[in-house]
Structure 1
Amino acid sequence: MDAHPNSAEARDIRYHLHPYTDARRHQETGPLVIEKGDGIYVEDNAGNRYIEAMAGLWSVAVGFSEQRLVDAATRQLAKLPFYHTFTHKTHSPPIDLAEKLVNMAPVPMSKVFFTNSGSEANDSAMKMIWYRSNALGQPQRKKIISRMRGYHGVTIASASLTGLPNNHLSFDLPIANVLHTSSPHYWREALPGESEEQFSTRLADDLEKLILAEGPETIAAFIGEPLMGAGGVVVPPAGYWEKVQAVLSRYDILLVADEVICGFGRTGEMFGSETFRMKPDIMVMSKQLSSSYLPISAVMVNERVFEPLADESNRIGTFGHGFTAGGHPVAAAVALENLRLIEERGLVANAREVGAHMQQRLRELASHELVGEVRGIGLIAAVELVGDKATKEPWGQVGGLGGLANGLLLKNGVISRNMGDALAFCPPLIITKPQIDQMVEAVKRALDAALEQVKA
């Protein structure tokens, strides 16, 4: 990249190793430097303004310039900038936030454990599940079933739960006691002539066969996002969660709902578990919990999980797990104010209403020569691109067309993210219908430009 040696771009290349980035390619291309945010928009250091159609990383519910969150952080910084929750100590913000979350839960929950990211939260959930099995005198019950294309984080444990190859390659993952079952992507995985209900039945049967092959007495839990996010915005087919939960119930297996993306309004209900009628024993949440203004995440557990944990901690003398910044007072204060804003401003209802408009407008692109499928619910969607609509085959290598269209979309003033050949859309919950229209028109221009290049 040709840049002034003291520019932000040049200094970034010199000093910064980026996540989810080709490090060698980054040395050639450099970064997009975002300097400001306002509502659904962000602005780079050259003054270009973009619709942030991914809400950052699926996470900025209330927009990029909410003064009430700034004020909440400032007040708490002045009062108590840091304290911990180890060894019987606490402070007001995590007390209030834990109470708020338990009362918001769509199913009865007991306690909240605070962490700093979705990865840490899923890692903690995994440790709790193992701890609980030992507490119950079931040391053989340690296996956790996840799904292909599921996304649960990047720590050693949570990346193992993640069902995406690039999170495993060269990291020597997954670790032992993590299993993966079928992906619930009907458009991509269903057999010819198979209905959604039949597909769901087959996937539930696959799950049961895996449980029986491994031994039901060795399976502790099943983890799943209500709707898959980073794996391509995969909406579960009709009957899927009902059938899966029936299998889990049959073998007394815990259900973990990873609500990191779905939680706090994204699907048009407060939680994805409500949208898809899930009854989890553990709920994991982050991202829209604080609109990502500050890092915070949480693991919420029911009595079925908490009571054995409490007994085991009493036997040992401590629950030997925790993070310095878990339940950080400033992050918890911001999260509380963020939840107030979501409720006061009716942002869940806005996600439902404006989300329906987004789904309708994006589905108008289904007839485009490059579009294989448009899918989603609420304010989360994906437009999957193909080289051949009939066979669903990609154009060249998988991700080539998605990368091309994503770059063209950026030039049209919209930041999206291509997961392979699927363009994702997950704008802030405050977005309006006219802004959706502006976003979709940019998508259409980008697809038309991509088609021209493909045919050239």
Structure 2
Amino acid sequence: MTDRDFDTQDWQVRDRAHYLHPFTDHAGLRQTGSRIAAHAEGIHVWDTDGNRMIDGLSGLGCVNLGYGRRELVEAVAREMAELSYCPSFFRTSHRAAITLAETLTGLLPDHLNHVFFQSSGSEANETAMRLVRRFWDLEGRPEKRVIIARELAYHGSTHMAASLSGIPPMYGAGGDVPLPGVVHIRTPYRYRHGRDMDPAEFGVVAARWLEEKILEIGPDRVAAFVAEPAQSAGGAICPPETYWPEIQRICRKYDVLLVLDEVVMGFGRTGKWFGHRYYGIEPDLMQLGKGITSGYLPLSATVISDRVADVLIDKGGEWAHGYTYSGHPACCAVALENIRILTEERIVERAEAELVPAFAAGIRSFVDHPLIGDCRSVGLMGGLEIVRDKATGEAFPYEAHVGDHCSAEALKRGLALRANGDTMSLMPPLVTTPDQIAEIFAIAREAIDATARHFGAM
């Protein structure tokens, strides 16, 4: 009996029996059963029942080049045939890791010249936090230990990464999270924290929440501020243009390292190659992942400024940190091919010129919808926030699960539309066409209309 002899129900039974899914209510899953993905091409995914879905989320914000790019598969096969594995321990290196590190630093600002590889964004953030504390120890300032992050942030699921994440439900997953020495400030969420303020004014006010927290703790105790350029899992929170310049000024004033989590925003999501280019940020550390391989293999990178790397190298001796799969040859090879395609086909530039305006217009088209309180986007990431009362911004009670209902309505119509709470989020692949953008928003409108009727808003 081969795998193709099993039907969807067979796969669901096997799935329930053995596979624990991430971020899942498994009791609920036992009632509904999993959707079993079978194959994918371009921006579409088919399940084992033959249903086709537009992937409006690029997987989890990672499949930037879409599915089925043969060049990426072939790059992996070539590297595996030549060098299936090589540790980066024992003073050993290999060509794919060296070339990728060199290629990445060539895409980044001049002060970012060193790269450490891992397999996930969680690990990249874990590495960054160890670097931060090691840096201050070596500088003779071990009292600088406190890390400031933001509410509604998502930085991963390891102990430290979950602690950085400002999503309280994650803290109940076990492990004494958040860890000591991590604190959170409010996020630049204008719809909830400054609806009546001018966006430029609000950006400065929101940035100064960081300064207030630094002064409350004491600048001599604050090691770093870590943040995403714009927040995806938090509900497509896009800061005003005045926010990041003020954050940069505050970090420099108080000698606080600025750590930029570009795991989602990197490799074209904002319409620029990286979020730091879009917002004009000069980080001390930067975490990359997801789009680095377009999700074809797991890889992440922590990019380190000369200021931090020079101290680590000159004063640090052995840095006792690393992973078995740091710089895995096949993962590095697919990242190099991914970057080649993005560059030679001008994918990011085309997305900025052709797709971002259409996407932004699609998001804005919901501004008068009776169920939508706020429409926001940056590049090819956007959110439509569902509210009970459009005039006051009052949200539905959590127990109503309005966002989940809307997501299910979209999926029935063939679109993956993510519910971040009651904000419906979209992050389509960079290879989506303008016609497909229009199709995405047509389905999203049908789903939101159906949700409004269900909850008595239309």
- Tell me the TM-score normalized by structure 1: 0.96
Say whether residues 1:445 and 2:446 are aligned partners: yes
Deviations 1:393-432 (A, max 9, x none): 1233267211111100001100121000011110111001
SS class of match (1:144) = strand
Contact 1:144 1:179 in 2 (8 A): yes
CA distance in structure 1 between the aligned counterparts of 2:346 and 2:381, rounded to whole angstroms: 17
Work out which of the residue numbers 193, 217, 240 in structure 2 matches 1:189.
193
Runs of 4+ off more than 6 Å: 3-6
**Letter of the 1:346 counterpart:** R
Which residue of 1 is the match for residue 302 of structure 2?
Answer: 299
> How many residues get paired?
450
Work out which of the residue numbers 52, 57, 60 in structure 1 matches 2:55.
52
Which residue of 1 is the match for residue 19 of structure 2?
Answer: 16
Contact 1:399 1:420 in 2 (8 A): no
Say whether residues 1:230 and 2:233 are aligned partners: yes
Contact 2:188 2:207 in 1 (8 A): no
Say whether residues 1:127 and 2:135 are aligned partners: no
Q: Which moved more, 1:180-189 or 1:52-61?
A: 180-189
CA distance in structure 1 between the aligned counterparts of 2:126 and 2:89, rounded to whole angstroms: 18
Which residue of 1 is the match for residue 346 of structure 2?
Answer: 346
Which residue of 2 is the match for residue 108 of structure 1?
Answer: 111
Which residue of 1 is the match for residue 437 of structure 2?
Answer: 436
SS class of match (1:292) = coil
Which residue of 2 is the match for residue 88 of structure 1?
Answer: 91
Contact 1:399 1:418 in 2 (8 A): no
Q: Which ranges of structure 1 fall in alignment gaps of 5 or more residues?
A: none
Which residue of 2 is the match for residue 168 of structure 1?
Answer: 171
Structure 1 position 263, deviation (Å): 0.3
Structure 1 position 197, deviation (Å): 2.5
CA distance in structure 2 between the aligned counterparts of 1:110 and 1:343, rounded to whole angstroms: 20
CA distance in structure 2 between the aligned counterparts of 1:299 and 1:348, rounded to whole angstroms: 22
CA distance in structure 1 between the aligned counterparts of 2:146 and 2:400, rounded to whole angstroms: 33
Q: Which moved more, 1:246-255 or 1:399-408?
A: 399-408
CA distance in structure 2 between the aligned counterparts of 1:67 and 1:369, rounded to whole angstroms: 44
CA distance in structure 2 between the aligned counterparts of 1:409 and 1:367, rounded to whole angstroms: 20
CA distance in structure 2 between the aligned counterparts of 1:120 and 1:204, rounded to whole angstroms: 27
Matches within 5 A, 1:203-218: 203-218=206-221
- Tell me the TM-score normalized by structure 2: 0.96
CA distance in structure 1 between the aligned counterparts of 2:204 and 2:450, rounded to whole angstroms: 41
Structure 1 position 313, deviation (Å): 3.0
Say whether residues 1:179 and 2:186 are aligned partners: no
CA distance in structure 1 between the aligned counterparts of 2:266 and 2:248, rounded to whole angstroms: 20
Which residue of 2 is the match for residue 329 of structure 1?
Answer: 329
CA distance in structure 2 between the aligned counterparts of 1:134 and 1:304, rounded to whole angstroms: 14
CA distance in structure 2 between the aligned counterparts of 1:256 and 1:402, rounded to whole angstroms: 31
Contact 1:204 1:240 in 2 (8 A): yes
Contact 2:7 2:48 in 1 (8 A): no
What percentage of residue pairs aligned between the two structures are identical?
Answer: 37
Structure 1 position 374, deviation (Å): 1.1
CA distance in structure 2 between the aligned counterparts of 1:6 and 1:439, rounded to whole angstroms: 29
CA distance in structure 1 between the aligned counterparts of 2:100 and 2:18, rounded to whole angstroms: 37
Structure 1 position 244, deviation (Å): 1.1
CA distance in structure 1 between the aligned counterparts of 2:434 and 2:190, rounded to whole angstroms: 29
Contact 1:4 1:10 in 2 (8 A): no
Deviations 1:18-46 (A, max 9, x none): 11111111111111111101000000010
**Letter of the 2:125 counterpart:** N
Structure 1 position 188, deviation (Å): 1.4
Structure 1 position 166, deviation (Å): 1.3
Say whether residues 1:72 and 2:94 are aligned partners: no
CA distance in structure 2 between the aligned counterparts of 1:310 and 1:104, rounded to whole angstroms: 23
CA distance in structure 2 between the aligned counterparts of 1:361 and 1:155, rounded to whole angstroms: 36
